[in-house]
Structure 1
Amino acid sequence: MTVTPVYRVSSTSRGGGRDGEVVSDSGRIDLTLAPPVEMGGNGDGSNPEELFSAGWAACFMGALRLVSKNAGVAVPEGTEVRVTVGIGKDDADDGFGLTGDIDVYLPGLDTAQANELALAAHGFCPYSKATRGNIVSTVTSRV
């Protein structure tokens, strides 16, 4: 696959990684990071999984809008994409791995059409493509 970027952005992590800060070059992101309580931290900041879930959800929504438009379907008012990212021990190498669960809410559409659009968006979304085969993920849709 060849990609010709039309936009590039950089962010810098300082401090202790999960216990430090992250700042984007634009300054729009300037966050204190802290491990969640479930991972032994105080939970008083954001974390990489929270940032990843936000980016994936926004990207997926954009993909959903595009595939819906191309299919001649208007995205209903109130449509939502919720991405839940999990982190835990990876039994394969005693390291850590991620999971991703994508829940697409398309109110007013029929179930088959909602499923079709959600799966098409998953096939098109750059975050979904980047994680395919690397992260166990699920896609569900609700109407």
Structure 2
Amino acid sequence: MTIAVEKVLYTARATAEGGRQGHTASDDGKLDVTLAPPKEMGGSGDGTNPEQLFAAGYASCFHSAMKTVARKTKQNVDDSTVTAAVGIGPINGGAGYGFEVELVVSLPNLERAEAEALVAQAHQVCPYSNATRGNIKVDLSVA
């Protein structure tokens, strides 16, 4: 199922040069990073990589979605964190590569059942979750 937005509120633009061993910058200059494959993939590890950028984006977006849901349900999410672990590896017998994601959420001011329900609701709201649903494995856990 393809998801279409009803109205575009913002469009981010970034340009990459050199692929995984290169440079990426946003059109407004707020993101400007050198890229290098991690040592685990045979690279120098001297720059960031697309998986780190994806992890940072997903964790931040999911945290915002969680805060939005919590605000509506009047739940205390002070001191909460979201950590995203993005794994990359071969798929289709090595014919390509794919991702898997683990989101670990810390909600120190909520009981476990409340926290798990909030995380499940945020997973329905988060744009990254909506974009990846049915495409990659995403594991959610409450720390």
Name the counterpart of 2:43. 41
**SS of structure 1 residue aligned to 2:108:** coil
Aligned length: 140
Name the counterpart of 2:138. 137
1:8 aligns with 2:11: yes
User: How far apart are residue 92 of structure 1 and its match?
Assistant: 5.5
Q: Is the 8 A contact 2:77 2:109 kept in 1?
A: no
The aligned amino acid for 2:95 is D
In the TM superposition, 1:17-96 aligns within 5 A as: 17-76=19-78, 78-91=79-92, 94-96=95-97
Deviations 1:59-109 (A, max 9, x none): 001000011111121212x21000110000113662101000000100021
Q: Is the 8 A contact 2:82 2:104 kept in 1?
A: yes
The sequence identity of aligned pairs, in percent, is: 44
Tell me the TM-score normalised to structure 1 length. 0.94
The aligned amino acid for 1:118 is V
Name the counterpart of 1:114. 115
Provide the C-alpha distance between the structure 2 equivalents of 1:92 and 1:40, rounded to a whole number of angstroms: 20
Structure 1 stretches of 5 or more lacking a match? none
Tell me the TM-score normalised to structure 2 length. 0.94
**RMSD between superposed Cα atoms in Å:** 1.1
User: How far apart are residue 5 of structure 1 and its match?
Assistant: 0.8
| Structure 1 segments of 4+ aligned residues over 3 angstroms from their partners | none
Provide the C-alpha distance between the structure 1 equivalents of 2:112 and 2:139, rounded to a whole number of angstroms: 17
